[in-house]
Structure 1
Amino acid sequence: MPVTFLLYLKIHLSLWSLGANWNYSLCVLQIIIITVYLGTGPAPVHGVLFLLFIGLEFLRIAGAWRISGLTQSNRQLEDEQKQLNDTFRVVRSERHDFLKHISALHFMLEHDEIREAKMYLNDLVDGYEETNLSIRGERGSAAGILHDMYRKGRKVGIEMIYDLDMPLSTLPLSDKDLVTLLGNLLSNSLEACEEFQKHKGKQAEISLQFYKRSGLYMLICKNDSLEIPPHIVDKLYASYGHTTKTGTHEGLGTMMIDDVVKKHGGYLDFIHKNETFMVKIKFPAVH
């Protein structure tokens, strides 16, 4: 029995995701089993009771994993829906105001306000460029996550560069896997860049490249980063529970990226050098 509790303490999972009722019910059953176990002398039934106790514990763990996964998927879908709604709202508002902008420019040019017209046009182009970089040729899921991350980066002063030879939606991934991959890659980069700006006092940069070469899709995400301890870098994508962030982060993002890459027969490599962190992912160009 003590071995079971030692294993229980080492599980990186909140078993309370099962809910209080299920946990209390399983605990009551296990207490009954322990009571019967201690109340009888050595007998073959002890083996059955031990296996029953272990079985209930594995049932608790499996149920918690399942519910935790469903909760995370639901949260991801809610985030994706919000991103899509935000992107649609931006595109709709830009389309709605387009004629108003043309009228304003026409008025300035008619009154020879050339300098003012140039400044107005530059601001207008910058706004349209932000949206165009995110949604050009992309499926809704990819457009939503790209636009959301671009907006978040620019909001905190991070230089965001999308160098995409083709839409990221070209990747042979489901919408769910594509959002998981892009969302975690860019979220990790944003957090690293915010820390970099905070400690270095200078602007950080994120670049996302995507192109196809020799039958392979190449996805490269590069960002400025503070120094990362070697013992964390060595195991960052190799196993669960390693993270460069402070606080209570569990390293789930890197694990989810690695899971998606392996699921689709891809290859992941990364390097940290001279305050730059780069992740290079290759997918075979097959559907």
Structure 2
Amino acid sequence: MRINRRVIYITFIIVILLLITNNSSYYWYAKSILTQEMSEQMATTANQIRTSIEQSEAGAFFVEDMIGEQLRSAAIFAKTKLDPDIDKVTNEQLIPLAAEAGVDGFSLMKRSGIGDDIMVGKSSDPNELTLTSTITFGYWFTAFDQLMKYHNVTITEGQKLPNFWAGIYEVPASGTSDVSKFGYYYDGETNYIICVFVNAGKIKKFKDIIGADTIVKKTLTSNPDIIEISGLNGITFGTKPKEYTRPNGVMYVSMYDRPVLFGTHNIVHVNDFTNFKRAIQDEKPVSVVESYKGNPILKTFVHVPIKERVTDVQREIPYVITIVSDYQSIQKTLNDQLIRVALIIVLFTVFSCLLVFLVFRFNTKSRETAVQSTQEMYIQNVDLMFATIRSQRHDFLNHVQTLYALLTNGEKEDQMRYMEELIEEINEVNDIIRIGQPAIAALIQSKITLAMRTKVSFSYEFIGLDGLSLGVKSVDLVKIIGNLIDNAFDEANKFPAEEREVSVKGWKESNDVKISVKNRVNPSFNLEDDTDLFAIGYSTKLEGGHQGLGLPVVKERVEYYRGTIEVTLEEGFICFQLSIPMQ
């Protein structure tokens, strides 16, 4: 029997598809895991940056508060040197006073006469004199107004001390410097607020040493896979920040309104604002894979909300840390894995195909061996049956001569005995031929010979099978009946010669062919204790024999033809009765 090439090809294709599906799934699963791990790593890095910035800002705030206290002391010192009436103080008088107090300047603020507005009346810096109105300064104006009305400030923003308020270091509206720190003192004994200011160089220098931008630079240096880090203003990013106008017409933006608070934001994508909002709304890191200059990058957005510190709320701005990392490292890892997986696919495919081929070859060889063995048995049995017939024909002359001699000698009794023996032998052969199925007839003939050799009382009876199309291949019919008879002979041989009995019957019933094989069994045998009667390897023989393969073969072939097997015990005999539908 030749191997079916189509089956091999189909099996090969199925194996290839399964391998491709499996390894593709593994590839995408590994990619998602690596991406997730990198996202978590970037989120961890962002939280580390956040912690470092918080510590840095806490230090900067401490320095800023110390400067605020110094500004209050300078304002009290100035009060002792100045006339309580603003009209009796000159701008020139304030210049040396600032130098003596160790600050960059003094300004005196008063009501402008237009509503509750407050303006700068005198100053050591000419730029300050341009501030003729502060009513548009937001909470800064509220602080000025509260000082003049109540001598103290109650708003949550800024640094509050007795008769004193200091705002955050900020871009001055007057343009006196890039960044300045302002403090305001008023105890009601003058008709003006003493404004004292210093350029915030110390704070800026402190931030340059341990501030956010320095932390970002160190992080970029220690993490080569990180391309860019930025702190996006949680309030103004993605929108146009509010601009203020100086008296000279120059526009400026508050330090705390800048869209990017620290780091750089040069790697821009159209979805940045959407992902920025997602990080704020979901309150958890958002990571996306994007393309920049043809290369894959991973962007991670981590929201940093305001802490619940009411007194310092103005100095804390919610922001989103954005980390851009090189995704090519993951891609390279995946490509290396893909190459390894491809090699595994090729090797495993070759191995699988070879294994499938060997399995098919083994099965084919097994089937060929089984078929060949059955055919040889069938042919042998048929040859034996025909040899018996030829032997009878060959001996016919001898029988006639013997009968003639017996008749001539007048030995009637011997003649009758000889005739009976001859007729019995002829009837046995005729009975076998009358079975009507050559395969069964040949098999029965061979088993008769075996029964004579093993001293087994073997009887058979087949009725109504002449010329019927049984729907079973001859080789399978020989397998089924032959294995049942062999199994019965094996059991019978366990008994003394006079107790060895095996019987076989075959008949047609409705549209089924019935086969029954009966043999004597040990009285202790119990069907309930032998539920695995048809299991491969099951055998009641102590040694040798057929290794428990006979009954499993019978069961498999009967079920193949949609037949049934029934096993019963009858007065010391076990009976296997099977039913197979005819065509």
TM-score (norm 1): 0.73
Aligned pair partner of 1:159 in 433, 448, 457? 457
CA distance in 2, matches of 1:182, 1:280: 11
Match of 2:551 in 1: 254
The more displaced of 245-254 and 262-271 is: 245-254
8 Å Cα contact 1:222/1:279 also seen in 2: yes
Percent identity, aligned pairs only, is 22
Match of 2:307 in 1: none
Cα distance per residue 1:16-60 (max 9 Å; x no partner): xxxxxxxxxxxxxxxxxxxxxxxxx98535753456545544543
The more displaced of 239-248 and 182-191 is: 239-248
8 Å Cα contact 1:232/1:244 also seen in 2: no
Which consecutive unaligned segments of at least 5 residues does structure 1 have? 1-40
| Matched residues, number | 242
Matched, 1:106 2:106: no
Which consecutive unaligned segments of at least 5 residues does structure 2 have? 1-335
CA distance in 2, matches of 1:157, 1:69: 33
CA distance in 2, matches of 1:225, 1:233: 13
8 Å Cα contact 1:225/1:275 also seen in 2: yes
CA distance in 2, matches of 1:274, 1:168: 32
Opposite residue 209 of structure 1, the aligned amino acid is: K
For the aligned residue pairs, the C-alpha RMSD in angstroms reads 2.7
Matched, 1:132 2:430: yes
- SS of the equivalent of 1:162 reads strand
Structure richer in strand, relative to its length: 2
- SS of the equivalent of 1:167 reads coil
Matched, 1:82 2:403: no
8 Å Cα contact 1:188/1:253 also seen in 2: yes
CA distance in 2, matches of 1:184, 1:233: 19
Opposite residue 555 of structure 2, the aligned amino acid is: D
CA distance in 2, matches of 1:175, 1:213: 20
Structure 1 segment 166-181 matched on structure 2, within 5 A = 166-167=464-465, 170=468, 171-181=470-480
Aligned pair partner of 1:216 in 512, 535, 539? 512
Aligned pair partner of 2:503 in 207, 210, 232? 207
CA distance in 2, matches of 1:202, 1:62: 48
CA distance in 2, matches of 1:266, 1:122: 42
8 Å Cα contact 2:378/2:475 also seen in 1: no
Change in 2 beyond 3 A, CA 1:165/1:67: same
Cα distance per residue 1:140-161 (max 9 Å; x no partner): 3222111001111122211111
CA distance in 2, matches of 1:214, 1:71: 35
Larger radius of gyration: 2
Opposite residue 475 of structure 2, the aligned amino acid is: K
Displacement of 1:71: 1.5
CA distance in 2, matches of 1:46, 1:275: 65
CA distance in 2, matches of 1:182, 1:119: 35
Opposite residue 280 of structure 1, the aligned amino acid is: Q
Matched, 1:122 2:414: no
CA distance in 1, matches of 2:529, 2:367: 25
Opposite residue 189 of structure 1, the aligned amino acid is: A
Opposite residue 536 of structure 2, the aligned amino acid is: Y
Match of 2:565 in 1: 268
Displacement of 1:134: 1.9
Opposite residue 556 of structure 2, the aligned amino acid is: D
CA distance in 2, matches of 1:86, 1:273: 34
Aligned pair partner of 1:233 in 527, 530, 543? 530
CA distance in 2, matches of 1:260, 1:65: 16
Match of 1:23 in 2: none
Displacement of 1:168: 7.1
CA distance in 2, matches of 1:168, 1:265: 22
Change in 2 beyond 3 A, CA 1:281/1:168: farther
Match of 1:144 in 2: 442
The more displaced of 65-74 and 223-232 is: 223-232
